[in-house]
Amino acid sequence: MLEFKYDTQLLIEGKNLSEDAVNDYITANIEGDCLLAVGDESLVKIHFHTNTPWKVLEYCASLGNIFDIVVENMERQENGLHG
């Protein structure tokens, strides 16, 4: 059984974004693993495994426009089903 069930991916489009600040906030405030926050001041891509993907979406939406949102259930994938 997986510790963190949902593979959460999205893009944030905004102004003065900081991949380091995003990384620090998510690490400190949302339980999960395999965090990637990469980009520049106007676009950051997030990849994160968590049991609370809505917290990631809520935080990221507070920074700018979010799009290309994918939340996949990795437990279903592990069992041969669609995520």
pTM (two decimals): 0.91
User: What one-letter code names the amino acid at 67?
Assistant: F
Q: Residue ranges per domain, the chain?
A: 6-78
6 CB-side CA count, 13 A? 16
Tens-digit pLDDT profile for residues 15-43: 999 999 999 999 999 999 999 999 999 99
Binning pLDDT at 50, 70 and 90, where does residue 83 land? low
Architecture of domain 6-78: 2-Layer Sandwich (3.30)
Residue (of 58, 75, 79) closest to 7 by Cα position: 75
Rounded to 10 degrees, the C-alpha dihedral 67/20/22/62 comes to -80
